[in-house]
Chain A
Amino acid sequence: MKRTMLCLLALSFTGFWILRTNASSHREAPLISNDPQADNTDVYAFISPDRPDTVTMIANYVPLEEPAGGPNFASFGDDVLYALHVDNNGDGSDDVSFEFRFKTHIRNGNTFLYNTGPITSLTDPDWNVRQTYSVTRVTRHGRPEVLGEEIPTPPVNIGPRSTPNYEALANAAITALPDGVKVFAGQRDDPFFVDLGSVFDLAGLRPFNPLHVIPLPAAPGVDGVAGFNTHTIAIQVPTAQLVGSGPTIGVYASAHRPKVTIRGTPGSQNTGSENTEGPWVQVSRLANPLINEVVIPLAHKDRWNALDPENDQQFQGFYTDPEVTRLENLLYPVLDDAPTTGRGDLVAVLLTGVPTLNFTGETTSDFIRLNTAIPPTGPVGTGNRLGLLAGEFAGFPNGRRLEDDVVDIELRAFACGYGPVVGPIVASFGFCAGNANRTPNNLLGDGVDQNDKPFLTTFPYVASPHQGYDHRHHGQ
Chain B
Amino acid sequence: MTRTSWRSSPRHRSRVKVLAATILAAGLAAALPRMNWHHPERVVDSMSIAPAVGMPGAPTTSADGLRQRIADMENRLRERPHDGGAAVLLADALLRQGRVTGDGHPAARAAEVLRIALEDNPGSYDALRLLGAIDLSQHKFRDALDVGRRARDLRPGDAWNYGVIGDALIELGEYDQAFDAIDTMARLRPTAGAYARVAYARELCGDLPGALHAMQLAASATASRDPEAQAWYASQLGELYLRMGRLDDAEREYRRASFMFPDYLLAMVGQGKVMAAKGKQDEALAIYLQQLRRTPTVDLASRIGDLYAGHGDTAQAEHYYQLAEDLAGPPIAQTDATLVLFLAEHDRKLPDALTLGKSIAAMRSDIFTEDALAWTYYKTGRLKEAFSASRRALRTGTRDSQILRHAAEIEHAYHATS
List residues of chain A with CB under 8 Å of any chain B CB. 9-10, 13-39, 41-42, 63-66, 69, 71-75, 77-79, 109, 112, 192, 194, 196, 199-204, 213-215, 225, 257-263, 269-273, 276-277, 281, 283-284, 289-290, 292-294, 297-303, 305-306, 323-324, 326-327, 330-331, 333-334, 407, 410-411, 446, 474, 476
Binds A, one of B33-41, B275-283, B404-412: B33-41
Cα distance A272–B397 in the bound complex, in angstroms? 13
Which residue of the partner chain, among B52, B133, B207, contacts A272 with CB atoms under 8 Å? B207
Determine which residue in A14, A34, A263, A283 has the highest number of CB atoms from chain B within 10 A of its CB, and name it.
A34
Cα distance A364–B100 in the bound complex, in angstroms? 49
Can you name 13 extra interface pairs (CB under 8 A) apart from A34-B223, A294-B28? A14-B333, A18-B138, A21-B296, A21-B298, A23-B138, A24-B98, A29-B167, A34-B42, A72-B227, A79-B221, A262-B205, A284-B38, A301-B40
Cα distance A381–B210 in the bound complex, in angstroms? 49
Please judge, given known A-B contacts A262-B202, A262-B205, whether A21 and B327 are in contact too, CB under 8 Å: yes
Q: Which residue of B lies closest to A203 (CB)?
A: B30
Task: Please determine whether A69 and B102 come into contact, CB atoms closer than 8 angstroms.
Answer: no
Cα distance A273–B214 in the bound complex, in angstroms? 8
Question: Which residues 192-232 of B have a CB within 8 angstroms of A?
Answer: 192-198, 200-202, 205-207, 209-210, 212-214, 217-218, 220-221, 223-230, 232
Q: Which residue of A lies closest to B92 (CB)?
A: A32
Cα distance A270–B23 in the bound complex, in angstroms? 49
Please judge, given known A-B contacts A260-B195, A271-B210, A273-B210, whether A24 and B99 are in contact too, CB under 8 Å: yes
Q: Report B210 CB to chain A, min CB distance, Å.
A: 4
Task: Please determine whether B210 and A75 come into contact, CB atoms closer than 8 angstroms.
Answer: no
Cα distance A286–B29 in the bound complex, in angstroms? 18
Task: Please determine whether B48 and A202 come into contact, CB atoms closer than 8 angstroms.
Answer: yes
* Binary CB contact string for chain B from 225 to 266 against chain A (1 if under 8 A, 0 otherwise): 111111010001000000000000000100110011000000
Query: Which B residues are CB-close (under 8 A) to A225?
Result: 34
Cα distance A112–B397 in the bound complex, in angstroms? 36
Q: Which residue of A lies closest to B200 (CB)?
A: A27
Q: Determine if B7 is an interface residue (Cβ-Cβ < 8 Å).
A: yes
Q: Report B362 CB to chain A, min CB distance, Å.
A: 14
Task: Please determine whether B55 and A34 come into contact, CB atoms closer than 8 angstroms.
Answer: yes
Question: Which residues 258-316 of B have a CB within 8 angstroms of A?
Answer: 259-260, 295-299
Query: 9 tightest CB-CB pairs across the interface, nearest first?
Result: A298-B27, A203-B30, A23-B104, A17-B333, A17-B329, A333-B3, A29-B196, A33-B191, A64-B56
Query: Which B residues are CB-close (under 8 A) to A74?
Result: 224
Q: Determine if B320 is an interface residue (Cβ-Cβ < 8 Å).
A: no
Cα distance A214–B19 in the bound complex, in angstroms? 12
Cα distance A262–B27 in the bound complex, in angstroms? 33
Which residue of the partner chain, among A18, A20, A28, contacts B167 with CB atoms under 8 Å? A28
Q: Report B167 CB to chain A, min CB distance, Å.
A: 7
Cα distance A200–B3 in the bound complex, in angstroms? 23
Task: Please determine whether A31 and B163 come into contact, CB atoms closer than 8 angstroms.
Answer: yes
Task: Please determine whether A201 and B48 come into contact, CB atoms closer than 8 angstroms.
Answer: yes
Task: Please determine whether B336 and A26 come into contact, CB atoms closer than 8 angstroms.
Answer: yes
Q: What band does the interface of chain B fall in when counting residues whose beta carbon is under 8 Å from A?
A: 35 or more
Task: Please determine whether A24 and B137 come into contact, CB atoms closer than 8 angstroms.
Answer: yes
Task: Please determine whether A22 and B102 come into contact, CB atoms closer than 8 angstroms.
Answer: yes
Q: Determine if B338 is an interface residue (Cβ-Cβ < 8 Å).
A: yes
Task: Please determine whether A33 and B30 come into contact, CB atoms closer than 8 angstroms.
Answer: no
Q: Determine if B139 is an interface residue (Cβ-Cβ < 8 Å).
A: yes
Please judge, given known A-B contacts A17-B330, A298-B40, A299-B157, whether A333 and B7 are in contact too, CB under 8 Å: yes
Q: Report B53 CB to chain A, min CB distance, Å.
A: 9
Please judge, given known A-B contacts A29-B196, A194-B33, A330-B20, whether A323 and B42 are in contact too, CB under 8 Å: no
Task: Please determine whether A35 and B32 come into contact, CB atoms closer than 8 angstroms.
Answer: no
Please judge, given known A-B contacts A284-B38, A293-B33, whether A26 and B139 are in contact too, CB under 8 Å: yes
Task: Please determine whether A25 and B299 come into contact, CB atoms closer than 8 angstroms.
Answer: yes
Query: Which B residues are CB-close (under 8 A) to A18?
Result: 104, 108, 138-139, 333, 335
Please judge, given known A-B contacts A33-B189, A326-B23, whether A79 and B220 are in contact too, CB under 8 Å: yes
Q: Determine if B187 is an interface residue (Cβ-Cβ < 8 Å).
A: yes
Task: Please determine whether A28 and B133 come into contact, CB atoms closer than 8 angstroms.
Answer: yes
Which residue of the partner chain, among B29, B54, B214, B327, contacts A260 with CB atoms under 8 Å? B214
Q: Report B106 CB to chain A, min CB distance, Å.
A: 9
Question: Which residues 83-109 of B have a CB within 8 angstroms of A?
Answer: 92, 98-99, 102-105, 107-108
Q: Report B144 CB to chain A, min CB distance, Å.
A: 10
Cα distance A400–B220 in the bound complex, in angstroms? 32
Cα distance A292–B40 in the bound complex, in angstroms? 11
Query: Which B residues are CB-close (under 8 A) to A476?
Result: 59
Cα distance A112–B230 in the bound complex, in angstroms? 13
Q: Determine if B183 is an interface residue (Cβ-Cβ < 8 Å).
A: yes
Q: Determine if B17 is an interface residue (Cβ-Cβ < 8 Å).
A: yes
Q: Determine if B13 is an interface residue (Cβ-Cβ < 8 Å).
A: yes
Query: Which B residues are CB-close (under 8 A) to A73?
Result: 224
Please judge, given known A-B contacts A262-B205, A272-B210, A283-B189, whether A23 and B137 are in contact too, CB under 8 Å: yes
Query: Which B residues are CB-close (under 8 A) to A202?
Result: 17, 20-21, 24, 30, 48
Determine which residue in A9, A294, A297, A324 has the highest number of CB atoms from chain B within 10 A of its CB, and name it.
A294
Query: Which B residues are CB-close (under 8 A) to A192?
Result: 33-34
